[in-house]
Amino acid sequence: MRTSFVDEVCPPDDKDYSVPGMKCPKCGGKVLITHDVVDGLDFGFSVSCCRFCHYDGIHGTTFNAPEKDCYAIHYLNSKEECIKKWEQRVKYLKEKEKNELGGKLNE
Ligand SMILES: [Zn+2]
């Protein structure tokens, strides 16, 4: 027991901060928002598609994909920031995909 550290360590937070109706544009999966506390250390909030993983073949990423191209964002400060950053990420990824698919048509 390390009760003497109780004021310093962050208590576990298993609450589901997800917003009902928020869906991944790529696969339609639920968008999860969680508060990541590991062994009393607070890693902030994360937002990600519940189905997202690098090799799932749906989201178009591998372990080499830059973090900004992933359907997951970590180390955020709040649920509100998660929602905002997710919307920005989705917009960015949609435009990226559009440019990659339709880039040649504009030449
Ligand atoms: Zn997804």
Tell me: the pLDDT tens digits for 80-100? 999 999 999 999 999 998 998
pLDDT confidence tier of residue 64, bands split at 50, 70 and 90: very high
Q: Give the total number of structural domains in the chain.
A: 1
The verdict on residue 23 lying in a domain is yes
Q: How far is the CA of 35 from the centre of ligand 1 (A)?
A: 19
DSSP percent split of the chain into helix, strand, coil, nearest 5: 30, 25, 45
Q: How far is the CA of 11 from the centre of ligand 1 (A)?
A: 29
The verdict on residue 107 lying in a domain is no
The verdict on residue 58 lying in a domain is yes
The verdict on residue 33 lying in a domain is yes
- Domain limits at 92? 3-102
Could you read off the pLDDT of 6-55 as tens digits, one per residue?
A: 557 889 999 999 999 999 999 999 999 999 999 999 999 999 999 999 99
The verdict on residue 32 lying in a domain is yes
Question: What are the beta bridge partners of residue 16?
Answer: 34
Q: How far is the CA of 47 from the centre of ligand 1 (A)?
A: 12
pLDDT confidence tier of residue 103, bands split at 50, 70 and 90: low
User: Residues 101, 74, 25, CA angle at the centre, nearest 5°?
Assistant: 35
Q: How far is the CA of 24 from the centre of ligand 1 (A)?
A: 5
Tokens for 91, please give them.
Answer: 């917009």
Report residue 64 CA to chain centroid gap. Answer: 17
Strands (E), 3-106: 31-38, 41-49, 72-76
Q: How far is the CA of 56 from the centre of ligand 1 (A)?
A: 9
pLDDT at 104: 56
Q: How far is the CA of 50 from the centre of ligand 1 (A)?
A: 7
The verdict on residue 72 lying in a domain is yes
pTM: 0.83
